[in-house]
Amino acid sequence: MTAVDLPSQHHEQYQAFKQLGLKLDMSRGKPAPEQLDLSNGLMAALDGYKAADGTDGRNYGGTIGLPEARELFGKLLDVPAAQVVVDSSASLSLMHDVIIYSLLNGTPGNAPWVREPVTFLCPVPGYDRHFAICEARGIKMINIPMSEAGPDMDLVEKLVAEDASIKGMWCVPKYSNPGGVVFSDAVVARLAAMKTAAPDFRLMWDDAYRFHHLGEQKLEVANILDACAKAGNPDRAIVFASSSKVTWAGSGIAALAASPANIAWWTKHAGIRSIGPDKINQLRHVRLLKDVATVEALMEQHRLLLKPKFDAVLAQFEHYLADVPGVSWTRPQGGYFIDLVTPDGSAKRTVALAKEAGITLTPAGAAFPYGNDPKDSHIRIAPSFPSLDEITKAAQGIALSLKVALAG
């Protein structure tokens, strides 16, 4: 071991880093101001309040969204517009609605879930807000390990065939949060066709990063609604998407795509919750985004802003951590996160040390149900919000924090 590798040197470097006085919050994957600026045209996009069918966007109504908004998301998601609902500013709200409606009212032709214990399968590491919905609503969660091709399908198929309490599964099929996994065609086909003990089993298909590429190669995932219909399970999947990381994160529009039966079911219950969505916001988004080509061009501008930040994090990790046993990290081809994997028992300590150095990270364990990473080994890195200089320094600080955590 050379002098620079001695534990005392790690502590000295870490203490010197703390003197920089950083104050960075990297706890969430927020777009940077420069990314939000790309859609400032929304301020001037509205040239009237009438929709294509004459609907007055200022008034009540339009539970399923304006026709042109549904048409836009239909093209973006490659589904018929008739199978799309546009509502809310966040897809997470629609996911929550689907869970609540299923618990209280049941799915089409089935009893309310709340009458019996309910279990969801949760690929891990995964999205903490998915797990928060389940935990808040008393839904039991089971961890499903992820591979580079998607969830462990042998385990998934075994569990859903045996246990009728398993009513659903969370899926982020493309550039998953936080591992960057892209589901293979074979995984999609197996999810669509597998035999389930619960007749009302649902795939909660969170297509959050469909256009969020980091590399020049634009990876694709098979159409889950088509796969389910072909397999004889047309109502199994419900797809969610939004413009939250396309235009303005807090003022976007969200969509739900599903079978005709599920669309009718959602519309019935949503009509009790609301008299209609923000149709003015839908109009200005439609007029700014226009079509798939316009969205892809906008997302290329996002990519050019994001990729240097991801590259900076990867470069710092390579410099400081490449030779540290048991440490690895993902090199995502899209999405918003890097998954830093530490030796067992080191993640929480690393996050705490980073906090002391002025870097706030997502709590260790957040990428697992109940906030419990069984091995305490995963740290979600969100490079998007800080400036390039800040994220470079932050990655250095995180690496030094991990080294100190391992040095004891």
pLDDT tens-digit readout, 299-344: 999 999 999 999 999 999 999 999 999 999 999 999 999 999 999 9
pLDDT for the residue numbered 6: 55
Closest CA to 255 of 28, 10, 84: 84
pLDDT for the residue numbered 3: 37
What is the token pair recorded at 374?
A: 């069984």
Could you give the CA distance from residue 122 to residue 114 in angstroms, rounded to a whole number? Answer: 19
Query: Any residues with CB less than 8 A from the CB of 315 and at least 6 apart, and which?
Result: 392, 395
Would you mind telling me the total number of residues written for the chain in this entry? 408
CA 353 vs CA 313, 350, 357, 372, 405: distances in Å: 18, 5, 6, 19, 8
Task: Report long-range pairs for 144-149 (Cβ below 8 Å, ≥24 apart).
Answer: 144/169, 146/176, 146/179, 146/181, 147/181, 148/181, 149/181, 149/183, 149/184, 149/186, 149/187
The residue whose two tokens read 């030779």 is 323
Domains of the chain with bracketed CATH: 3-30+296-407 (3.90.1150.10), 47-290 (3.40.640.10)
Global confidence as pTM = 0.96
For 378-394, give one letter per residue: b (16+ CB within 10 A) or e: bbbbbbbbbeeebbbbb
48 CB burial (10 A radius; 0-12, 13-18, 19+): exposed
Could you give the CA distance from residue 163 to residue 315 in angstroms, rounded to a whole number? Answer: 45
Could you give the CA distance from residue 177 to residue 173 in angstroms, rounded to a whole number? Answer: 9
Strand order in the sheet with 254-257: 84-86, 254-257, 237-242, 202-206, 166-171, 119-124, 140-147, 150-151
Could you give the CA distance from residue 168 to residue 160 in angstroms, rounded to a whole number? Answer: 9
Alpha helices (H) along 274-346: 279-289, 292-321
Low-confidence stretches of the chain (pLDDT < 70) are 1-6
**Residue type at 60?**
Y
Q: Are strands 237-242 and 254-257 parallel, antiparallel or unpaired?
A: antiparallel
Could you give the CA distance from residue 208 to residue 118 in angstroms, rounded to a whole number? Answer: 25
Closest CA to 288 of 241, 243, 336, 240: 243
Could you give the CA distance from residue 174 to residue 176 in angstroms, rounded to a whole number? Answer: 5
Total Cβ atoms within 10 A of residue 234: 17
CA 152 vs CA 28, 121, 148, 328, 371: distances in Å: 27, 11, 10, 21, 21
